[in-house]
Amino acid sequence: MKLLNSFGPNPRLVRMFMAEKGMNIASEDLDLLAGANRQAPYLSKNPAGQTPSLELDDGTVIAETVTICEYLEEQQPSPALIGSTAAERANTRMWVRRVELNITEYMYNGFRFAEGIEIFRNRVLCLPESAAGLKANGKAGREWLDGLIAGRDFIAGNKISLADIVLFACVDFAKDVGQPLEPEFKNLQAWYARMSARPSAQASLHPAAPQLKMAG
């Protein structure tokens, strides 16, 4: 099993998930900024051209960050980051989708269509005129979540889950590219401090992060 890896918040999400579980998996690094993920031979493994992907020993390739994490959880159930019961797993998946649909998808596209447009304009359809609206929607989602997590340490309850890792990888990256976490969102600020203090937060950073001055 091998992680097809690169700089970026999505690969970091998987690396942080692995670090929380104590998993060590061989990896192959792709030059994301040079567009290696949008060229052969990578496209033959992941036609979507996104990183990361997980290549199994039989050649099967699993893509999409949450799907990769689901697979890894099945391979090593403990410590459970999705859940050890059907109810826990359903709760975590619910919060993962809430985070993605209300916050991270807006934030990522807001970056791609604004600060990141020189990287992405020849790779995906970019709509720069929509960047401000996307960022505003992301902020509205953060405000919504800030109210919902009052009184608990983590997004899906009082222990860390995949939902926390999905959001942390996004907001830690976004703070360096024009979308910092608002100081008035006190509950999210406290959550962010807790997440930042976890050893997995530092361990999951790509070696290129200091040079690029972005957390990915």
CA distance 71 to 75: 6
Domains of the chain and CATH, by start: 2-75 (3.40.30.10), 86-198 (1.20.1050.10)
The pLDDT score that the predictor gives to residue 32 is 80
What lies within 8 Å, CB to CB, of 23 at 6+ separation is: 72, 76
The pLDDT score that the predictor gives to residue 105 is 94
Residue 120: closest CA among 128, 14, 169: 128
The pLDDT score that the predictor gives to residue 195 is 98
The pLDDT score that the predictor gives to residue 213 is 86
**Burial class of 198 by CB neighbour count within 10 A (0 to 12, 13 to 18, 19+):** middle
Structure tokens at 51: 């990183």
**pLDDT tens-place values along the chain, 216 residues long:** 999 999 999 999 999 999 999 999 999 999 988 888 888 999 999 999 899 999 999 999 999 999 999 999 999 999 999 999 999 999 999 999 999 999 999 999 888 777 766 676 666 666 777 788 999 999 999 999 999 999 999 999 999 999 999 999 999 999 999 999 999 999 999 999 999 999 999 999 999 899 988 899
The pLDDT score that the predictor gives to residue 123 is 67
Q: Contact at 8 Å (CB) between 35 and 123?
A: yes
